Structure 1
């Protein structure tokens, strides 16, 4: 019996695309979307006062944002294959713009939360879409520098977010955090609707609802569980944490099993058959765990042990983020020229040594010393993240690009939550052990210092593991298919393993 004919995929309009304007509008959209992840951190207190809500309620402005992104990013592989670049970009920025408008004008907290959820929905689509556009448009030998520009946006936006937020809240109102972003979102929507071309192949796969449900419960449960455990309120014994992690992990196991059986999976697990991609994912997860955890543990240490003011802590953390963003395009250029090993190995060595030196901080440490160490850490992150991700994605055949980008972005969200929870747990346990070992002298500051040092010891061990893995990373050398040669998109199989040097 003959198979029914499939509707032919809509061809990408790559030959009609002006790359620079396209990347400019995508970068501007990504910038405002990522900026919003950290804008509200400083504004939480005035928002609590405006709506008369407690801290536990207000923290959902941050938690819901992370949860929605964790749920949507895995679905992005399906969306990118189902809709055109213009449709997805316009929809993502419209969701973000409408959410911004609702949040800025919200008369009650529930509407503010709804606005944040809509903003996160747009961000969850936009980030993997940008990665796929780069993979579709930019040849492998030039991807590093373009991914470096994306890295600049990813790191620069959250680095300046708290500073910009503090100035706006002090001199205007927290609502202006949304008002000032709205015009940029509107311009991006108009440009996308009028002139954006399609650069990805639309194959219109069918939606598997069971996969969507399992993915939502799985990734959402894991991120929520680890995030809640890391907040330190009820810790790992909190029933919410236990239920969320149990449901999440079980759902993820069922999700992976189902993806391996489906003819057209929502997330194609065959990406892990490519060794450089798998290696890149593990290295990136370790680095993200260390970075996110340091961003949580360091302020606690600076505020409570070194007794720095909140303003000083913000200024200490700012240079590292700015320098990281500024170096990302440079690292991209170096990656294109020399490959990943010359960046990954020195970068991970620098990260490992820096985390170890964090253990030596004491009450006599000067702010300048902390600035230098934090900046070195962020420089090392710039040397590792973009080269590892680009090299890993380069090994995938084009038909797996959406799946590789979705899996990479999803696991970065998950590893950030896991790293924060693990570091905070180790810090808390170390603090408790110190108090138990010094029952006569209940010095909470010394106990906290002991706990933080144990957390950084764990980070040092993670760095050693990442360094061992980085020794096996090799540069992926891709070669274009010969004319008339069937690629894996047509056969459904794997490309021949690329040559590596």
Structure 2
């Protein structure tokens, strides 16, 4: 999808190709968190331990982290329809395999296949949107996209809780299959190609190093949530993954001289794009951390069922989706900072509020804090992503969206690892001192939320420095010697 040229779009209307991609992306990304509530059913049906069953979610996230770095190169080689057909075809194949999996190993393989298709869909959506939607209307359209990239993971546990009330964990895939099939067929019938593909070679050494580096980093972080894995093992794998990523970076810097990097790191030369990466990473970390801690709190300490837990957090996810379009319109008119600053402050306040949870906190307060967190994240995601991507020249759109998608997976793994590690370390120390297990776990959750709130303070600092928007979308912003690339409030 290189050599792209924007097609005219009527202001106030979302191009059909973007609407189709948003719908498809929502369906596939929903599967990233849809298995969270199915752990007990998997343990009973496939005779696996809780630690093993957690891999149905970890494997999905790990595969996404390993595959997404390759999508920047892939999207430049194929047409929009070919990329869409590949992504949906691979996802559907994985869903069918998951529904009929005779063993846990086959189920894990199916999740790898599902994630491979999902990894292509999100960068495809972002790259296409940046090309076909005029700069003055991107905030509004990106607000609608928030539903797919942010609300889908938030709604996954609630949706799965409802479906699991009807029966086996296999229903999660049986229900998704016809929906994804209809979306895939409808999309292919109405999808139009945007631009022409550009033939280029691929550096297989970069492919292997990227998969090992990013996949290893996510895997190592996930081990911190497994009480059966030694802490030293997790630290060692994280260190090895980071070192491998360093090799990947050096390789890409060399390949940039010949014009064929797997992931073009020149995107990082732009200050606005770097700021957007930091903000999105910390915000995604906070969202995934809360998604891990809240179910543990509500089910283990308050005794709620998975269904009740899902219903309690569902309003926050829905509110996030409803605010997305409004946030986009506000961005188009006033820029990023009027949204991002209140959003970052709201995120800090919500996480600080969760740091005060108790076994008697009213459910309406929990619902209010969760809704505040989701609304704050909606105010951050839409303008920050739009501003960051708009700061890049057109030929770097696919690489910029690929880098963002990879960072989201790493941030999700880090958020989960951080929450579980802080909780476990605090609880274990208190239990060793004679504190009751329930009280120790509650104290660990409070500390984990407090640490997340402290990290979230960084977003306020970055938000204050955030540029408003690009002044001239035709300018190449990679060269930061140009002072007029962005207007600062």
Q: TM-score, normalised by structure 2?
A: 0.91
Against the structure 1 CA distance between its residues 197 and 293, is the aligned structure 2 distance closer, same or farther, given a 3 Å change threshold?
A: same
Aligned match for 1:91, one of 69, 82, 86: 86
1:16 Cα deviation after fit: 11
Structure 2 residue 103 is matched with structure 1 residue 108: yes
Alpha-carbon distance between aligned partners in 1 of 2:302 and 2:185, rounded to the nearest angstrom: 49
User: Does residue 1:499 correspond to 2:474, yes or no?
Assistant: no
Is the aligned partner of 1:118 residue 2:105? Answer: no
Residue matched to 2:454: 461
Long gaps (5+) in structure 1: 1-7, 482-486
Deviations along 1:114-168, one digit per CA (max 9) or x if unpaired, are: 2222111110000111000101111121111111111112333334333332333
How many residues are treated as equivalent by the alignment?
482
Partner residue, 1:28: 23
Q: Distance in 2 between matches of 1:458 and 1:150?
A: 30
Checking the alignment, whether the CA contact within 8 Å between 2:15 and 2:132 is kept in structure 1 is no
Partners of 2:284 and 2:277 in 1: CA distance: 10
Residue deviations 1:293-337, cap 9 Å, x none? 111122223334444454443222221111111111111111111
Conservation of the 8 A alpha-carbon contact between 2:65 and 2:214: yes
> Does the 8 Å CA contact 1:394/1:478 hold for their aligned counterparts?
no
Question: Per the alignment, do residues 357 and 195 of structure 1 end up closer, same or farther by CA in structure 2, a change over 3 Å counting?
Answer: closer
Q: In 2, distance between residues paired with 1:124 and 1:75?
A: 9
Separation in 2, partners of 1:353, 1:498: 33
Q: Is the 8 A contact 1:99 1:115 kept in 2?
A: yes
Match 1:392 to one of 388, 391, 395: 388
Aligned residue in 2 for 1:380: 376
The answer to whether structure 1 residue 448 and structure 2 residue 441 are counterparts is yes
User: Which of 427, 430, 433 pairs up with 1:431?
Assistant: 427
2:180 is aligned with 1:197: no
> What residue ranges of structure 2 are gaps of 5+ in the alignment?
none
What pairs up with 1:205-354 in 2 under 5 angstroms?
A: 205-234=200-229, 236-237=231-232, 239=233, 241-262=234-255, 263=258, 264-354=260-350
Distance 1:136 1:495, change over 3 A: farther
- CA-to-partner distance for each residue in 1:467-493, whole Å, 9 max, x for gaps? 111100011224254xxxxx869xx97
What does 1:121-200 align with in structure 2 at a 5 Å threshold? 121-200=116-195
Contact persistence 2:390–2:473 (CA under 8 A): no
1:454 match: secondary structure: helix
SS of structure 2 residue aligned to 1:364: coil
Contact 2:6–2:133 (Cα < 8 Å) also in 1? no
Q: Which deviations, in whole Å up to 9, do the C-alpha atoms of 1:433-462 show, x marking residues without a partner?
A: 4345xx3x4322222222222222212211
1:231–1:421 contact (8 Å) kept in structure 2: no
Range that drifts further, 55-64 or 452-461: 55-64
Q: Select between 163-172 and 85-94 the one with higher mean Cα deviation.
A: 163-172
CA RMSD of aligned residues (A): 2.5
TM-score, normalised via structure 1 length: 0.89
1:412 to 2:408 alignment? yes
| Structure 1 pair 350–242 and aligned structure 2 pair: CA distance change class (3 A) | closer
Aligned to 1:57: 52
Say whether the 8 Å CA contact 1:132–1:200 is kept in structure 2.
no
Question: Structure 1's 15 and 476: CA in aligned 2 closer, same or farther, altered over 3 A?
Answer: closer
Is the contact between residue 336 and residue 387 of structure 2 (CA under 8 Å) also seen in structure 1? yes
Shift of 1:430: 2.2
Distance apart, 1:11 and its partner CA: 6.1
Q: Is the 8 A contact 1:279 1:469 kept in 2?
A: yes
1:81–1:200 Cα contact (<8 Å) kept: no
C-alpha distance 99-9 of structure 1, shift in aligned 2 (>3 A): closer
**Contact conserved, 1:222 with 1:244, CA < 8 A, in 2?**
yes
Structure-2 separation of matches of 1:473 and 1:480: 17
Alignment check: 8 A CA contact 1:397 1:495 kept: no
Residues 12-63 of structure 1 deviation map (CA, whole Å, 9 limit, x = unaligned): 6947999633123212211210122222222333333333333343332212
Distance 1:432 1:47 in 2: 27
**Greater CA radius of gyration, 1 or 2?**
1
Determine helix, strand or coil for the equivalent of 2:36: coil
Q: What is the CA distance between 1:95 and its match in structure 2?
A: 0.4
